Every structure is written in C-alpha cells, then in structure tokens.
Amino acid sequence: MKILLISTNYSPELTGIGKYSGEMAQWLSDNGHDVLVICSPPYYPEWKVSEGYSAWKYQKQTSENLTVYRCPIWVPAKPSGLKRLVHLASFALTSLPVVLRHIFWRADVVICIEPPLFNSFGAILTSKLSGAKSILHIQDFEVDAAFELGIVKANWLKRFIYGFERFLMRRFDKVSTISEAMLDKLDQKNIPKDKQLFFPNWVDTSFIHPLETVSEYRAELNIPLDKPVVLYSGNMGEKQGLEIVIEAARNLKDQNIQFILCGSGAALERLQTLAEGLDNIIWLPLQPFERLNQFLNLADIHLLPQQAGAADLVMPSKLTGILSSGRPVVATAQQGTQVARVVEGKGSVVEPANTEAFTQAIEALANNPDLRIELGLKARDYAENNLEYNAIMRNFKTELKKLI
C-alpha cells in the first residue's frame, strides 16, 4: 500500500501524538508499505523546535520506503488559546502545498491526525482528487476540550466550529479514535457507525515491562530503597491540572514519600513557583527514550491528573506505558469515564480537583506495598492483553486493506 500520513506532531517527539504517529509510520514502513509523512519539526512538549531542525524551512528526510517532509510552523514560547490556534493554522497553511503536490503520488490511503482539525481540508481534497480512501484519526477531541476548559466561550463561535467540524468529519471514508468513550462521542456528532473505526493507542510490552531488579535511577537520584516514589512524567500543560500534585506533595511533606515531576511544557515555570519551599519534589527534564523502561520502573506509584471534563475527550497517551510497567496509578477522573474504567482495579480514581482524596489515595498506596504489587500485576496483565503494539497495528493494517 501507499500511505500518506498528515500529522503536525511526529517523531522524534517522545510524548503525545508525535510518538504514536511516528511509531505508526515506522511499523507500516517496516512491514513493506510505502509511507510518506507530512509533519512539522519536533517541538513538543518543550514548545521549542529541537536542535537540528528549523521552524521556518522545509526539510525532507528519506530512509528506504519512508519519506518525511517537515513543513514550517510558528511555535509560541508561551502558548495561550489564541496563540495555539495561530500555531496550528500556521502548519496547516505551510503544509497545504506539500499535501496537494502529492495528489500525483496516488496514495491508496490518506490518514489525517487530529488535532488539529485544520489539516483535514488538505487531506480531504488530496484524497478526492487522487482517488485515495481517507481516514481521520482523532487522538484528542480538541474542539470539545477547548469548550470544556473554557478556551472558547462565545456560543455563536461554538455553533460555527461544531458545524464546520461535522462537515469535515463526514467527508472522510473512516473516522477512527482511541477509546470506546470517544467512539460514543462520534455517535453524538452523528458520524455513521459504518464510518467509525476503533484504533487504540498501544505500548511495546516487550520494551516497557516490570524490572526484576531495582531501577538504576534510585541510586542516581539518591533515593533510599524504603522511600516510595510517586512519579508524574509527561507534558506539563494547562489541561493536566498538575496543581493537585503540588498540593498533595505539600500535604505529604512530612511523610517518607518522594515526588518526582518529569517533563516540560507551558505550565512548568508556574508549577515550580507554586512548589517553592517543598524539598520532597525532584524536577527532571524528559528522559532519553532508551532509558524509558528504567525510568517508569523507578515509580512505586504513577500519577495521572486531569482537569474535570477531559477524561473522555482526551485519552492520556502516557497511560499505556504506565500500565505496561506494572505499577499502580492514581488518576483524577469522573466515575464512568473511559479513564476511570481503564484504571479501575489497577490503581485509584478520585474526582478531579479533589486534593484531599488525591492525597489520601497516594498515601494509602505508599503505605501498602502488597497492594501496590497486586494492582501492578493487574495493570501489566491489562497491557499485555489489550495494548500490545504489534497486535494493534496488524489489526489496523487489516482495516486499511478492507478499506481500499
């Protein structure tokens, strides 16, 4: 097959959408398909274009049957609601000529990753004019999340955006997304069942797995063996609601518990200011990919905070690695949401913004190593049976062949 993938975020980004788009393209390429990717230079989650790449130049990379075109993008140092829109629109505009030029490449399938929805126009036009089938793959319901988090408030603008979103979605041959609750959201948007496709995120369970020995990070960070480690690793943006972690660390500052916050993002400096005076938090940048398994195994407890309203609109990409590492997780989510259903029996779920309950859940697990082991085994079992990388990609390849 010839597959054209349009994804603003792409490898070598280590977290979020870029990670999954990169692994998808690489797997399809490794399994004999011609893959052409149109993306931006890597910038996430630091909100700074990585060294060796340019924000303003077009670049092309090729390796065997995988070709990557990187298009210019404006990256704000401190993203806000309006700046994010301009940021996403900038890539949609600079990438459009490259997308349309590949009408003549005659792809079998055009896959467009949302967010952002802006990229949909070029994907639809290219697929129609080249005779290719088209898939919109939704990692985040960005429009709904913007409304839930108050980024967009005007009712007239909401109605216009929802109508435009629905118009674009219906032009794709298939609309896929990553959780059952997000499929339910497609029903609410009146996307026909025969157009819907379940395509969950995955984890390489052979790469991320429980260690039989103590993580080497403990010695490097001088953390005693009897001190439970509570870890958040990933993007530090506004939708994560990481203030609750700072408050939990403050509440537990007299306990024998080590908090680690790893990553970067728009809210990092504000969070560090909020945490001034707390000596039970270690701040780390994102760790090298090759050490990811060691790092995830450093945790005795993983944290998955989110703001209210986001747990069904945004299925956190980091959850797959957490489960595969065989460690329990404390998550904030409303009962009945997708996140709550997945985490149930593998950790604790508390109401978003409930600092007291969040603190108590962390303390209870920190003081009960036997329960941590029990929940961690269930987490690992779930990952092996539901999230395995090669199995999910083989199923997706089968769906692609059926589509064309």
Among 29, 27, 11, smallest CA distance to 19 is for 11
Q: Which residues pair with 330 in a beta bridge?
A: 303, 348
Residue 348 has pLDDT above 90, yes or no: yes
pLDDT score of 314: 63
Question: CA-based diameter of the chain, in Å?
Answer: 65
Q: Tokens standing for 46?
A: 């630091």
**Residue 249 in contact with residue 274, Cβ under 8 Å?**
no
What average pLDDT does this structure show over 266-285? Answer: 94
pLDDT score of 102: 96
Least confident of 159-168, 195-204, 295-304: 159-168
d(CA 304, CA 318): 8
Q: Tokens standing for 209?
A: 């797995």
DSSP annotation string for 192-223: -GGGEEE----B-TTTS---SS--HHHHHTT-
240 confidence band (pLDDT: 50, 70, 90): confident
Residue 152 has pLDDT above 80, yes or no: no
d(CA 295, CA 314): 24
Contacts of 69 (CB under 8 A, 6+ apart): 36, 37, 38, 39, 58, 59, 60, 95, 98
Who wins on pLDDT, 42 or 156?
Answer: 42
d(CA 260, CA 217): 12
**Does the predicted model carry a pTM greater than 0.85?**
yes
d(CA 259, CA 248): 9
**Residue 161 in contact with residue 184, Cβ under 8 Å?**
no
CB neighbour burial string for 321-353, b if at least 16 within 10 angstroms, e if fewer: bbbbbbbbbbbbbbeebbbbbbbeebbbbbebb
CB half-sphere exposure, 276, CA atoms < 13 A:
4
pLDDT score of 310: 60
d(CA 265, CA 273): 14
Q: Tokens standing for 210?
A: 């429980």
d(CA 56, CA 81): 22
| Domains identified in the chain and CATH numbers | 2-202+388-403 (3.40.50.2000), 216-386 (3.40.50.2000)
pLDDT score of 311: 55
Residue 147 has pLDDT above 80, yes or no: no
What's the sign of the alpha-carbon dihedral 351, 354, 356, 358?
A: positive
d(CA 285, CA 94): 30
Contacts of 259 (CB under 8 A, 6+ apart): 230, 231, 232, 245, 248, 249, 252, 280, 281, 282
**Residue 348 in contact with residue 330, Cβ under 8 Å?**
yes
Residue 149 has pLDDT above 70, yes or no: no
Helix (H) or strand (E) holding 338: helix 338-343
d(CA 404, CA 397): 11
